[in-house]
Amino acid sequence: MLARRLTAVARLHIQYCSFRATIIDGCFWMCLAEFAALTTLSLYDVEFSSVHQFGHLILAMPALRNLQCWDVEWQSHGLDHRLLPPRFSPLKLTSVKLELRTLRDAEDPEDTNKEVANPQVIAVMRDIVHLFVMASVSAHIEELHIGNDVSKSWLYLADVGTSAVGELLEHCGESLRTLFFSVGAADLNALYATSIVGELL
């Protein structure tokens, strides 16, 4: 098996790829598990059929510690634990970066100050959080990075509840050491931010 010969491979980068219409044989996930040194997975502009397919991918890598996601998406939402692998080694992710470029859309294309949450992306974020919580992934996260100013993938504080990020923070516990949020301009209003945070605590 090729994976057993590539014992030093530590990073896997998947870019501009769609698994949405692909039927993946169970042997594929078993082969991924043979990459014993694979600690970092980077996904850039990758489309899955559902969160379950995304879950199969990350849960197939027992040594995975760093997960970086840029614009991952799927159309079918909601997590059903019965559709995940029946047995998997506990995943101990320590660093998670989620940058979803289209997190917020302009309500009026000519007025970029009026922005609304992108429901599709919020649903993806919520699915990821529920997967992390269900698989006890969140218990080991030390660094959580959400959003990016350059790509305008910021998360408004008002989105923390709808995206379930607040739930993720609750389950991170004492392991979390670094938390990075890229926030939108509206959240720079101190009084507004205080009121939102107060509702979440």
Q: What is the CATH number of the domain that holds 85?
A: 3.80.10
Q: How far from 79 is each of 84, 135, 149, 184, CA to CA, in Å?
A: 9, 11, 29, 29
The mean pLDDT value for 74-90 works out to: 84
3-state class percentages of the chain: helix first, strand second, coil last, to nearest 5: 35, 25, 40
| Residue 178 domain boundaries | 2-200
The mean pLDDT value for 196-201 works out to: 51
E strands along 19-162, which residues? 40-47, 66-70, 95-99, 104-108, 111-117, 143-146
Q: What is the pTM (predicted TM-score) of this model? A: 0.81
- pLDDT-wise least confident of 1-10, 163-172, 186-195: 186-195
Fill in the amino acid letter for 140.
H
The mean pLDDT value for 131-150 works out to: 84
Query: In the predicted model, is pLDDT for residue 115 greater than 70?
Result: no
**Count of structural domains, the chain:** 1
Give the pLDDT confidence score for residue 22 in this predicted structure.
Answer: 67
The mean pLDDT value for 149-167 works out to: 67
Give the pLDDT confidence score for residue 41 in this predicted structure.
Answer: 96
SS3 127: helix
- pLDDT-wise least confident of 25-34, 123-132, 138-147, 189-198: 189-198
Token digits for 97? Answer: 């970066």
Token digits for 78? Answer: 């909601």
Give the pLDDT confidence score for residue 136 in this predicted structure.
Answer: 85
| Residue with token string 């379930």 | 164
Query: In the predicted model, is pLDDT for residue 50 greater than 50?
Result: yes
Q: Identify the residue with better confidence: 103 or 22.
A: 22
Pair type for strands 143-146 and 95-99: parallel
The mean pLDDT value for 192-200 works out to: 52
Query: In the predicted model, is pLDDT for residue 198 greater than 70?
Result: no
The mean pLDDT value for 99-112 works out to: 55
* Exposure string for 15-44, b = 16+ CB within 10 A, e = fewer: eeeebeeeeeeeeebeebbbbeebbbbbbe
As a whole number, the mean pLDDT across the chain is: 78
Query: In the predicted model, is pLDDT for residue 64 greater than 90?
Result: yes
Q: How confident is the model at residue 161 (pLDDT cuts 50, 70, 90)?
A: low
Give the rounded percent of residues in the chain with a pLDDT score beyond 70.
69
